[in-house]
Amino acid sequence: MMEYQRELDVAIAAVQKAAGLCTKVQKTLVGVEAIEKKDRSPVTIADLGSQALICADIGSAFPETAIVGEEDAEMLRANEAVSSQVYDLVKEFHVEMSRDDMLSAIDAGACEADFTGRYWTVDPIDGTKGFLRGEQYAIALALVEDGEVVLGILGCPNYALGGATAGTLFYAVKGRGAFARDSATGESRKISVDGLSDPSKARFCESVEAAHASHDEHAMISAQLGITQEPYRIDSQAKYASVACGAASLYLRLPRSKEYREKIWDHAAGAIVVSEAGGRVSDFSGKPLDFSLGRKLVDNQGILATNGCLHDRTLEVIAEVV
């Protein structure tokens, strides 16, 4: 059996289940009601239901391994109406789960972890604003060992790759390559980056929200590289998927604040999918992303994911511009 095969099988099934819940919410709840967290970013019942399903399945299969997630159940304990709404959804996809089990599963993501050892990290809906707009979002799940991502899954229900009718699930295991799985048929195929070495022919992607990254500095980097195409703006770690399958050659993310540090769950799964597709991922100084230091990438600033061929040249331009 392939190393990490059981982890991969359980993780794919969990993400598919969560994708089903998220798709149902997006299709049936017109004008999805967002609840504001303390940091003012929107979170929906789909976030909480998705995390409950994933943490329940991962926790059951691998009880000895910590799960690091974005959400906790505090909001549901304080709001009976929303709690009932989330639980009704979760029960459709996990019929044996009690409400207490649901709350405990969500809270599992807020528990302490040994970040230098082995842990899972999950973003139940990465790109919540894209989800609310009916555009791109991702359900991201990754397994980290000794600070290195060894397995990653991106469930992208709205990403129609190669004619997929029910979205695409991207996944990668260390040393085994990256794959795209048609969510409707279950068929998988290996994917790879585009291999372009001429930056003038390249396309770069970035966040839709200008508040999430410095579009102005991205534009200067792009101009210096000689890129002439308009940026491909999409939400979530679907940007990593775009680089991995050759739809874009680069992904740039420079936060507007120099003090800001990225959350691990926003990049772990995407980073290994790009790397295993033949690309390269680093911060803006060229350092690999270090997932051993806690819930944030405290030793990294900026994110660069490329097809590999354009990485060093892009780092040179970044050093001149930033």
* pLDDT score recorded for residue 71: 85
5-9, 21-25, 163-167, 223-227: range with highest mean pLDDT = 5-9
Domains in the chain: ranges and CATH: 5-191 (3.30.540.10), 199-321 (3.40.190.80)
pLDDT band at 310 (very low <50, low <70, confident <90, very high): very high
Res 37: pLDDT: 66
pLDDT of 264 > 90? The answer is yes
Confidence (pLDDT) at 42: 62
Residue % of the chain over a pLDDT of 90: 75
Distance CA 47, CA 232 (A): 25
Mean pLDDT value across residues 263-275 = 98
Q: Which residues are known to be catalytic?
A: 47, 128
Contact of 69 with 122, CB cutoff 8 Å: yes
25, 44 in Cβ contact below 8 A? yes
pLDDT for residue 55 is more than 90: yes
pLDDT confidence of residue 31: 58
Residue 248 pLDDT exceeds 60 = yes
Note the pLDDT of residue 210.
63
Q: Is the dihedral of CA 220, 225, 231, 232 positive or negative?
A: negative
Q: Is residue 313 predicted with pLDDT exceeding 80?
A: yes
pLDDT value, residue 180: 97
Q: Amino acid letter at 221?
A: I
CA-wise closest residue to 233 among 260, 257, 204: 204
Secondary element (H or E) of residue 179:
strand 177-182
Query: CA triplet 84, 13, 90: central angle to 5 degrees?
Result: 5
Spatial separation of the C-alpha atoms in residues 145 and 113, rounded to whole Å: 12
Widest distance between CA atoms in the chain: 57
pLDDT tens-place string over residues 208-222: 876 666 788 888 998
Q: How confident is the model at residue 256 (pLDDT cuts 50, 70, 90)?
A: low
Angle at alpha carbon of residue 151, lines to 92 and 290, rounded to 5°: 120
Q: pLDDT-based confidence at 322, cuts 50/70/90?
A: confident
Which pLDDT tens digit goes with each residue over 22-51? 999 988 864 556 666 666 556 788 999 999
User: For residue 289, how many other CB atoms are within 10 A of its CB?
Assistant: 21
Rounded CA-CA distance 184/175 in Å is 27
Mean pLDDT in the chain? Answer: 92
Any residues with CB less than 8 A from the CB of 221 and at least 6 apart, and which? 252, 314, 317, 318, 321, 322
Question: What is the rounded CA–CA span in Å between residue 205 and residue 70?
Answer: 24
What is the percent of the chain with per-residue pLDDT over 70, rounded to a whole number? Answer: 93
Residue 292 has pLDDT above 80, yes or no: yes
SS3 for 171?
strand
What's the rounded mean pLDDT across residues 119-145? 94
Whole-angstrom distance, CA of residue 155 vs CA of residue 209: 21
Does residue 181 contact residue 168 with C-beta atoms inside 8 Å?
Answer: yes
